[in-house]
Structure 1
Amino acid sequence: MIDTFDLALPHGITLSVRAAGQPGRPVLLFLHGFPEAAFVWDEALAHFAAPEHGGWRCIAPNLRGYERSSAPPNADAYRARHLVQDIAALIDAVTAAGPTPGRVAGLIAHDWGGAVAWNLAATQPERLDRLVILNSPHPGTFWRDLRESPAQQAASAYMNFLCRPDAAERLRADGYAKLWAFFRGMSDTSAWLTPALQAQYEAVWAHGLQGGLNYYVASPLRPPTADDPAAAGVTLPDTLLHVRVPTLVIWGMRDQALLPGLLDGLDAWVPDLRVERLPDASHWLLHEQPARVIGLIDGFLASAQRAG
């Protein structure tokens, strides 16, 4: 059973949350990406909350800017430090009654949720035992390829469209036609994008799109243009690149936006790394191969428990 509630954080942000499992148990935290929301993790929440799969307390927030969560109007409010602050405060709140206050047993994240997770793991490793990333580039390899790879620059060109002042209006037009193209352009959605699931997406989008778009506006990690050096104009500090917690990366190799080359050299920044490549999955691997993805996470968490 999935519970929903709103959680007010000490720094003035409220996150709407989906949860499963018994409070007080060790926590698994799940972070979504764009243009999705916390509900995409429902199957995983129910799975990992079950006693036979660990009996975890499973928490999936809607990130700031999404669904009923706070959506500050200023794009600067979506810079990485603010997003990380949200998740750190959320961890404090949901682990307070558990065995490891201030620390989750696992952080599992996709797309923009993965960007937040990479940053949290690099800067506050004491907050998580394990990290699982689904098709979300490490900031070091993404920064490198946005500067040096014409193929990745072309694949990421959509990011500059999403920064336009009229992007939300264009995405809403014609029944969210451009948003649906994010899915249908990469995946055989006939196998998973049911009318019920479409309705869940549209219910979230009806709350507003600008919050999610502000992640793109606030980040310099996008392809350079004639008017904006973007990734070519920034230097990432070393503290944001090294991740020293055990990490599993699951990658749909048919991702047309985030190319497989982003995995190259990843072990230089993430020494305790396991990579699972899914040849027949795209960016939307959680929808296309949910059993496979959940099984890989299950095995990773189980190996950690055995090692402990």
Structure 2
Amino acid sequence: MIEISLNKLPHGITLSCRSAGTPGRPVLMFLHGFPEAAFVWDGLLSHFSCPENGGFRCIAPNLRGYEQSSAPGDVAAYRPKHLMQDVAALIAQEGGPLACLVAHDWGGAVAWNLAASAPGCMNKLAIINSPHPGTFLRELQQSPAQQASSAYMNFLIRPDAEALLAEDDFRRLWEFFTAMGAADGPHAWLTDAVKAQYRDIWRAGLTGPLNYYRASPLRPPRAGPPHNDPAAAGVVIPREKLEVHVPTLVIWAMDDIALPPALLDGLEDFVPQMQLQRVEGATHWIVHEQPQKIIGYLQEFLR
């Protein structure tokens, strides 16, 4: 059974959380991405909290800016150090370190940074289609293909992005799923009931979620007036902030058009204790498309 709570953190941020399982058991924490929310993990919370599947305490926060979590108005409040502070504080509340931190998309960006800067927060890390900042920065700086694949980010930082995304019953947001989806037909997972859950999240506010993009320079550069925005071209990340020294599982859907497989090249140089599972015929939304495959890989990794 999924429980819903508001967790007030010592630094004044509140995260709305979904959880399952007995407090005091080893903890799995799940971090969502854009344009999603904690509810996308409900199936995994239910599975891994069952005694026959490990009996874990499972918790999925809505990241700051999402659903009923705190949504500061300042763009700078969505920089990585603040997002990591939220997750580290929630881990401490749960009695950390975690058995495993599991993350997708923007949640993965937070997880990669936290694993590099505070590895004591977790025993293991599992990443699902979320680029490591080292390989992502390299590709944004050097690869025209990645720059083209990430061009949507510069749409999301527009001052009118909220209004544009809300038009026509969130038409452009639905296209995030359908344009990246399987080429062979409709998205069976995107049912009317699931769509209703997304609408509830998006109606709660889009500014917080969009501020993740506005706060991050890891975007394609925008040359010439009126922007003259170097974005990723002007970024240098110290090596020590890129190395992850916890056992890490990376699950990568190979048909992700926003995050091409070149992002995996050289990843083992930053993450020496890495297991990589490449999944053919799956897209960025693999958590929805092939949940049993995700569960199977995680089950094996957690043994």
TM-score by length of 2: 0.97
- The structural deviation recorded for 1:134 is 0.3
Q: Matches of 1:163 and 1:258 in 2, distance apart?
A: 19
- The structural deviation recorded for 1:263 is 0.3
Q: Name 1:117's counterpart in structure 2.
A: 111
Matched residue SS, 1:17: strand
Q: Name 1:59's counterpart in structure 2.
A: 59
Q: Matches of 2:275 and 2:123 in 1, distance apart?
A: 15
Q: Name 1:245's counterpart in structure 2.
A: 246
Q: Name 1:128's counterpart in structure 2.
A: 122
Matched residue SS, 1:190: coil
Q: Name 1:257's counterpart in structure 2.
A: 258
Q: Matches of 1:295 and 1:32 in 2, distance apart?
A: 19
- The structural deviation recorded for 1:211 is 0.3
- The structural deviation recorded for 1:242 is 0.1
Deviation by residue 1:209-238 (Cα, 9 ceiling, x = unmatched): 010000000001000111211001010122
Q: Matches of 1:298 and 1:111 in 2, distance apart?
A: 20
Matched residue SS, 1:72: coil
Matches within 5 A, 1:175-194: 175-188=169-182, 189-194=186-191
Q: Matches of 1:264 and 1:168 in 2, distance apart?
A: 34
The code of the aligned residue for 1:211 comes to G
Matched residue SS, 2:60: strand
Matched residue SS, 2:114: helix
Deviation by residue 1:144-163 (Cα, 9 ceiling, x = unmatched): 00000000000000000000
State which of 140, 146, 150 in structure 2 corresponds to 1:152.
146
Asked whether 1:213 is paired with 2:210, we answer: yes
Q: Matches of 2:56 and 2:110 in 1, distance apart?
A: 22
The code of the aligned residue for 1:180 comes to W
Share of identical aligned residues, percent?
Answer: 62
Matched residue SS, 1:22: coil
Q: Name 1:305's counterpart in structure 2.
A: none
Matched residue SS, 2:281: coil
Q: Matches of 1:258 and 1:216 in 2, distance apart?
A: 16
The code of the aligned residue for 2:141 comes to R
Deviation by residue 1:90-143 (Cα, 9 ceiling, x = unmatched): 001112xxxxxx310000000000000000000000110000000000000000
Matched residue SS, 1:137: coil
Aligned length: 296
TM-score by length of 1: 0.95
Query: Which runs of no fewer than 5 residues in structure 2 stay unpaired?
Result: none
- The structural deviation recorded for 1:190 is 2.8
Query: Which runs of no fewer than 5 residues in structure 1 stay unpaired?
Result: 96-101, 303-308
CA RMSD of aligned residues (A): 0.6
Asked whether 1:223 is paired with 2:220, we answer: yes
- The structural deviation recorded for 1:186 is 1.2
Q: Matches of 2:109 and 2:22 in 1, distance apart?
A: 28
Q: Name 2:285's counterpart in structure 1.
A: 284
State which of 95, 98, 108 in structure 2 corresponds to 1:104.
98
Matched residue SS, 2:111: helix
Q: Matches of 1:63 and 1:280 in 2, distance apart?
A: 29
Q: Matches of 1:190 and 1:35 in 2, distance apart?
A: 16
Q: Name 1:34's counterpart in structure 2.
A: 34
Q: Matches of 1:255 and 1:62 in 2, distance apart?
A: 24
Deviation by residue 1:166-189 (Cα, 9 ceiling, x = unmatched): 001100000000000000001144
Runs of 4+, deviation exceeding 6 Å: none
Q: Name 1:99's counterpart in structure 2.
A: none
Matched residue SS, 1:151: helix
Q: Matches of 1:54 and 1:190 in 2, distance apart?
A: 31
The code of the aligned residue for 1:139 comes to P
- The structural deviation recorded for 1:239 is 2.3
Q: Matches of 1:179 and 1:187 in 2, distance apart?
A: 13
Asked whether 1:163 is paired with 2:157, we answer: yes
